[in-house]
Structure 1
Amino acid sequence: MGASPGNATNTTVAGAPYREVADHNGRVYRLGETDRQLMGRSRRWMVFLPWIAMMAISSSEYAFTSADETLSDAHGWHGAHIFWLLGVWVFFQAAVAFPAGRLREKGTVSAKAAMMIGAAGTLIAYLALASSDNVLLAYLGFSVLGGTGAGIVYATCVNMVGKWYPERKGGKTGFVNGGFAYGSVPFIFIFSNYMDVENYGGILIAVGIFLAIGVAASGFFFKDPPKNWWPADVDPLAVSDDPRIRRSLAKNPPAVKQYTPREAVRTPVLSLMWFCLLCTAGVNIFGIAFQVPFGKEMGFAGGVVALAMSLKAIVNGTGRGVIGWVSDRYGRRQTLTIVCVVLGLAQFAVFLSGSLGNMTLFLLASMVSGFGGGAIFPLFAAMTADYFGENNNASNYGLVYSSKLVSGLVGSGLGAVVVAAWGYGGAFLLAGSIGLLTGALSLMLRQPGHNRTGPAPAPVSLSGASAA
């Protein structure tokens, strides 16, 4: 339903009145309906429930390498199979983001149904690792089906929170995204310290059932807001009285319109975002895959390496929430540039501290690396909605996030090739340099269609529009 700038169109749906207004760019906002009218509860539920589900799927990526020795000994998987299992998992986790987003936005698959599919994939992944010595079946069950299920959950959760908090999405998206890292911490310790060739099957099956229930129970209550929905108490065409909202919208103005995926692809900025995420995600996955074996080769005890990986996951997750809040205050692009530089420098620090055998510095460098590697994801998720709008964000972010198709294989699988050829020193030097290069490239990111040279037209108040 269209509306001319400054005019309100009044409508009532299912007893809840709403009106649609357009700003000076022609972007439409749907106003008047509260979160409780739409789903019977506060929109805060659409922060905490996705957060729980994200924690449930995180162990497949962040805790997997902590189980590498046990799985290798139990199944006879040696060589690069462990690293390629993770790389292929990441490939399918990213590959499903765009098609799942399109199905969701077309109404073919509901949010609840998507989460049930994701729960099934989570269970299958752990059953495959627990019950099959055939590495090809492990690739099918864990990497393909498990990765696909995790990708559906990830895409659904990240985009759900952005739809319900369009006025200050950075901090909320970062909080939800953070669960994808620190939710793995208990399982890093379990897989590292308590799992062996005698009990691995039972532990993996129990973990798979527990996590699948977490995904399904959370997803059962998922519900999307209507297209163009905006909080009833926030006027999108006027300066907000809330300093948090006013600052966030000033630093991260809403997209000039709701871009379709076809329109978004035609903008140069989407390709640049894709490449920047490819580089930074590749560096992050490289650290996840090789920090444990590197630490062990440098002579650190298994408990120290597990602690380093756990700290990395904790800071990776908590950093996502913090960086989302920071980006609301100071701007998404500015924050991204700093994060890329930190991520690059951290790779040099991990290698140097490990080479020196300095445990304290190794733990600290691991935490900094985790912070940088985690912070990139909520920044790109929120930036995609800032640049291209919320209505098609599941598809548009799926396009940007598809760079992880390549970064997973590069960071884990190709990373193993680089380590074999150049050693850990050459691999960490390359990873750090890529992070710094991405920081420079991020300076070129600009919101498409936004006029940054002239003054913005005066906002139009909605106070005169009455609801039906």
Structure 2
Amino acid sequence: MTTIDYSSSATFREVTDRNGRVYRIGETDRHIMGRPRWTMVLFPWMGMLGISSSEYAFTSAEDTLHEAHLWSSGHIFWLMGVWVFFQAAVAFPAGQLRESGKLPARYAMMVGALGTILGYLSLAFAPNVIVAYLGFGVCSGIGAGFVYATCVNMVGKWYPERKGGKTGMVNGGFAYGSVPFVFLFTSYMDLSNYRGVLVAVGLVCCSVVAFAGWFFKDPPKNWWPPHVDPLKMTDDPKIRRALEKNPPAVKQYTPKEAARTPVLWMMWFCLLCTAGINIFGIAFQVPFGKDMGFAGGIVATAMSLKAIVNGTGRGVIGWISDKFGRRNTLIIVCLVLGTAQFGVLVSGQMGSMPFFLFCSMVSGFGGGAIFPLFAAMTADYFGENNNASNYGMVYSSKLISGLVGSGVGSIVVGVWDYEGAFVLAGCIGLGSAVLALFLKAPGRPKTSRRTVPNPQPLGEEMA
């Protein structure tokens, strides 16, 4: 077996399983970056907190922005759609730059911090709506895309043996961070202070992203934690169950190889549908609640609860998927998300505030849970080495779902009213559950429930 010096204090060896997948073992997290790997859950989580307000709290500022700049409600929703478009569009190229070594993680986060402050400055001082589209929709969207792609894929690299719960926790930051800003934009910001509020929020969010990003560091390619033998069954029941339910990918797929598998595009379409429903709920829950006669404070509470449960759902669902399998969990989440849309509609029509709050939280849970599931599933199916690019391809479906959920959603509401729009969203969610039944890891034998590793490491096979 070959041993290669990595540094003066650590060595590693490479072993391979029966599928030919290589694992680099021997180096600890402290050898690589001088601190424990849980910090690479904490700092990515903080980075996600910093960009969350741009999506989840933006529509709460609709009334003030409309009055201050005389932008129509249509422009407000299309601004969000453009933001989501560019946030998703940059995921794949950002992943390519990251994995090629041309864009270190720290610099990617600095790009995100710059985009965040530019977005809020444009909302505060834009002389016309075109500047807002460029500043908030394009610059802030691109910046958020760099942060999102870097944070979500970073944690999977550091926890390849049990990535579901950790990925979910980091992904949850994308919703938690918006909660104080929902109340701020709804209850405090007005024509007298909107510029100061927007600038202050931009500076805070920019600082959080930049601070977190300064500590980012990638592990080496194929890295595997030394305390978990990839070729033997581990004694840790949590890790053993997670690996049984979600076996590692049979090999490290390049983006070209992943793109040739049908399952990647099935995942792309499933995320398109479910993300579209999630964005539709974010964009229209506040105006729907107001039209149904609920007080502004109640609507803000509903939106905040939605954001809290959305973030909680991302963390909890990752832990659940480690125990019961990613695909099985995704099927249940799609059913919950679709059913919740009918509940939001009925609760509003009934004028039942408690039911409205409950259905809003359920919808938020389902809408948030889909993203860490697809992020972890992409790594499970195609490997961690190129996960930023591979997940970037899957996540690119949000290019369309953002425009459909927000911009086209406003057209559907105008033509069919809220009833037709929520019924359509619910049916799409239920259909996504059917599609999720057909998602299976590529290259894995159909007759085997899990991959049995080759007990001989690389080098001994060659002897």
Same fold (TM over 0.5): yes
Match of 2:152 among 154, 158, 162: 158
Pick from 4, 18, 36: which aligns with 1:11?
4
**Deviation of the 1:14 alpha carbon:** 1.8
Could you say which residue in structure 2 is the equivalent of 1:206? 200
Per-residue deviation, 1:79: 3.8
Are the equivalent residues in 1 in contact too, given 2:115–2:139 (CA < 8 A)? Answer: yes
The answer to whether the aligner puts 1:319 opposite 2:317 as a matched pair is: no
- Which deviations, in whole Å up to 9, do the C-alpha atoms of 1:258-308 show, x marking residues without a partner? 000000000000000000000000000000000000000000000000000
Q: Which amino acid aligns with 2:363?
A: S
Q: CA deviation at 1:9?
A: 2.6
Q: Could you say which residue in structure 1 is the equivalent of 2:387?
A: 393
SS across alignment from 1:80: helix
- State the match for 1:4 in structure 2: none
1:373-430 Cα offsets, whole Å, 9 max, x none, are 0000000000000000000000000000000000000000000000000000000000
| Amino acid across the alignment from 1:460 | P
* Native 8 Å contact 2:16 2:454 kept in 1: no
- The whole-number CA distance in structure 1 between the counterparts of 2:2 and 2:89 is 39
Q: Partners in 1 of 2:322 and 2:97 — Cα distance?
A: 30
1:111-163 alpha-carbon deviations (Å, 9 max, x no partner) = 00000010000000000001113100000000000000000000000000000
CA distance in 1, matches of 2:324, 2:404: 32
TM-score, normalised by the number of residues in structure 1? 0.96
Tell me which amino acid in the other structure corresponds to 2:52. Answer: S
Instruction: Tell me the residue number matched to 2:256.
Output: 262
Secondary structure in structure 2 of the residue aligned to 1:90: helix
One-letter code aligned to 2:442 = P
> Are 1:197 and 2:202 matched, yes or no?
no
Matches of 1:352 and 1:454, distance apart in 2: 45
2:46 to 36, 43, 52: 52
Contact 2:17–2:456 (CA<8 Å) still a contact in 1? no
Kept in 1, the 8 Å contact 2:17–2:453? The answer is no
Of 275, 284, 287, 2:278 maps to: 284
**Separation of aligned partners in 2, 1:360 and 1:313:** 17
Other-structure match for 1:23: 17
Q: Match for 1:147 among 141, 146, 165?
A: 141
Q: In the alignment, does 2:211 pair up with 1:217? A: yes
Distance 1:306 1:24, change over 3 A: same
- Alpha-carbon distance, 1:452 to partner: 3.2
- Aligned-residue offset at 1:244: 0.5
Distance 1:458 1:270 in 2: 25
Contact 1:70 1:197 in 2 (8 A): yes
- Structure 2 counterpart of 1:430, one-letter code: L
The unaligned stretches of length 5 or more in structure 1 are 1-7
Alignment pair present for 1:429 and 2:423: yes
Deviations 1:223-265 (A, max 9, x none): 0000000001100110000000000000000000000000000
Asked whether 1:383 is paired with 2:377, we answer: yes
Structure 2 residue corresponding to 1:347, chosen from 315, 333, 341: 341
Partner of 2:2: helix, strand, or coil? strand
Instruction: Tell me what 1:3 maps to.
Output: none
Give the distance between the partners of 1:79 and 1:396, measured in 2 at CA.
36
Report the alpha carbon displacement of residue 432 of structure 1 after superposing the two structures with TM: 0.3
State whether structure 2 residue 235 is matched by structure 1 residue 241: yes
Gaps of 5+ in 2: none
TM-score (normalised: structure 2): 0.98
Q: Is the 8 A contact 1:238 1:461 kept in 2?
A: no
Aligned equivalents of 2:191, 2:126: Cα separation in 1: 13
Aligned to 2:455: 460
Corresponding residue SS for 1:328: helix
Q: Write the letter of the residue equivalent to 1:445.
A: L
Amino acid at match of 1:119: A
Structure-1 separation of matches of 2:48 and 2:19: 35
Counterpart of 1:122? 116
When residues 84 and 21 of structure 1 are mapped into structure 2, their CA distance, relative to the original with a 3 A threshold, is same
